[in-house]
Structure 1
Amino acid sequence: MLETKPALSFENGVMVNYSDLLAIAEEYKSLPETIVTAAQGSRANAVKSDLKKNADLIKKELKAEDKRRSEAFYEENHGAVAALDTLLSVREDLVERTNTWEKTRLDANMPVLEAFIDEQNELHHLDSQHQLSANDWRKLGTFTPTGKIVGKVQNEIVSQARLAEYDQNKQPELTPLDLLKRDLNRAFSELYSNYEDDGIYGGKDIKDDLAKIAQLLQ
């Protein structure tokens, strides 16, 4: 866990803790050029957040003090501008380095996730339309520091595979046209059965039966 950083503040128009912040920023530069462990990656991400918070605070305080005291403040407290530039520069460097590390780590771990996804697709007999994609879970939080899939993520993938299987195998809902065809088939079937059972109908009876079917076509 990172120690508490000194907070930037202004007292009587003078910036407080500027030197301490710059010293800490210099310390951050000593992080390895290539981040190789999850702990280093976690620290770097925390540092990025901390630097952004302090940089935002400097910008906010500069604007507020400028309104209070005029542009002369920048000449009296030029260190604030330097602190902002330094913190932003260090943060940009960390962003680039951690982004590279995160991509490298993800690329190394993805085969494990892809194998598990393929296993679930095969286990649930999912077709191309319903198959799961490993890209849906492509993020650092999917993996433990040792490169294994986090348990709750595995459970989520299994649940999604089961839902996909259900969706794939459920009977399609009948459209209005399908319902009409079904009702027409039943009507003709019943009409045919009546003629078979009761013998020959008269013309009026046939018209009455056909009228019932005609209603279905309206």
Structure 2
Amino acid sequence: EGSAAAAKADRLQAKLEGSFAQIFVFPPPAGEAEHHLDGSEDDEVPGKASNLKWAVGKVHQHFVQRGTTELDRVVLTVADADCLFHPMYFSAVTADVLRMRQSGGGQQWAMWQAPQLPFRNYDMSPAPSRVWAYISSMYEFGGVSSLDAGCHHMVFSGYSVHLQLAAEAELWDGDVIAEDHHAYLKGFFFSAYTTGVKAAGKRLLGGASPVGCPPADRPWLC
């Protein structure tokens, strides 16, 4: 937060500006509140959820003001600061988006999840953390693998989501800590609401789509 966050943003922007077409920095304001549908409100909790709520709203606003007419082509990717993506992750997501577009659409109601393998600092972790790393890896890998069989698995940590779904469903709330599961549930129920009430031909979010390459691991594990 504050000057430390601004300095970090400047360092990242200077380091990576040659790798991206554009880099935006949207520092969230302090003292924001989350307003609920029942009229109550809670102070936002500084962290990933409140940052995403602010930044994604600003990105969507930027595209709208720029007159971008093909928002259905924009996919967001969310990641923790220590997440390492497999080199083929974004290619796999892009290929799946194109496949969905060619087969009649639906990509604007999708989320993409790769299995989470927390082995980046495995050798330096204490024994309990190593045990949990194996348990978590089996759970996440099994959950993502089950998506091909039509099962459900909530997104976790690093995932991708269509900008249209993120903006219309307002996936992130500022007073929530577990932003990933919360975003999945909001997307699920929003698509159910849209399908049942508006009847606009939009399908129910049946679950996340699997991405075969894990984002947070050693490359040779994939």
Output the TM-score relative to the length of structure 1: 0.21
Write 1 or 2 for the structure with the bigger share of strand: 2
> Based on CA coordinates, which of the two structures has the bigger radius of gyration?
1
Higher relative contact order (CA 8 A, sep 6+): 2
Write 1 or 2 for the structure with the bigger share of helix: 1
